[in-house]
């Protein structure tokens, strides 16, 4: 008769995966730090590891206006396939004076507002609603972060598969004595 200590095996496998996710999250964070365009503020590149139930989730992100505009573009060239586009256009960050079509960069209403770097700015309102792309050219999306994720995927999958392939499952099977 054989005995299989499933609880101990799952606990130990989770510990090994947690360790590997920490390593991979640090590695991916370093990739983003190194490959982000110069406009991206390095202090706005972050990482986090969460354990939710039986899941370990490693997250790396780049925030701020530099990350947003280099990844997704700006003004009339912004990529509206951004999964956060609708949330952004409904948020306090979005200029309410922008045209509803084409979304060119335009002047803001008079008053203070918070930009995507969480800085308080002030608009005189003189250019409200005017298309400013002649002076502030829109940017095409570079999708640099998406590219890092796509290029990193094979390495990450290889490392995670290696965890399963090298895990000593046999240690949890005994002859029942």
Q: Using the CB atoms, write b or e for 31-44: b if 16+ within 10 Å.
A: bbeeebeeebeeeb
Dump pLDDT digits (tens) for 26-44.
999 999 999 999 999 999 9
* All residues at 6 or more sequence positions from 105 whose CB lies less than 8 Å from its CB, including other chains: 74, 75, 76, 98, 131, 132, 133, 136, 138
**Which residue in the block uniquely carries the two structure tokens 């930009």?**
115
Phi and psi, residue 60, nearest 5°: -125, 135
* All residues at 6 or more sequence positions from 21 whose CB lies less than 8 Å from its CB, including other chains: 49, 56, 57, 58
- Helix (H, G, I), strand (E, B), or coil: what is residue 138? coil
pLDDT class of 101 with cuts at 50, 70, 90: confident
Dump pLDDT digits (tens) for 110-164.
999 999 898 999 999 999 999 999 999 999 999 999 999 999 999 999 999 999 9
Whole-structure pTM over 0.85, yes or no? Answer: no
């Amino acid at each position: 008769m054989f005995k299989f200590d499933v609880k101990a095996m799952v606990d130990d496998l989770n510990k090994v995966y947690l360790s590997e996710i920490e390593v991979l999250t640090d590695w991916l964070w370093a990739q983003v730090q190194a490959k982000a365009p110069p406009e991206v503020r390095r202090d706005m590149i972050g990482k986090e590891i969460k354990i939710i139930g039986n899941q370990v989730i490693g997250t790396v992100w780049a925030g701020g206006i530099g990350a947003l505009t280099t990844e997704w573009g700006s003004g009339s060239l912004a990529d509206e396939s951004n999964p956060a586009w609708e949330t952004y256009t409904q948020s306090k960050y979005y200029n309410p004076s922008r045209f509803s079509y084409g979304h060119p960069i335009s002047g803001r209403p008079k008053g203070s507002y918070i930009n995507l770097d969480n800085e308080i700015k002030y608009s005189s309102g003189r250019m409200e609603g005017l298309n400013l792309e002649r002076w502030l050219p829109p940017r095409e999306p570079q999708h640099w972060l998406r590219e890092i994720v796509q290029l990193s995927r094979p390495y990450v999958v290889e490392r995670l598969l290696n965890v399963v392939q090298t895990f000593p499952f046999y240690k949890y099977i005994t002859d029942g004595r």
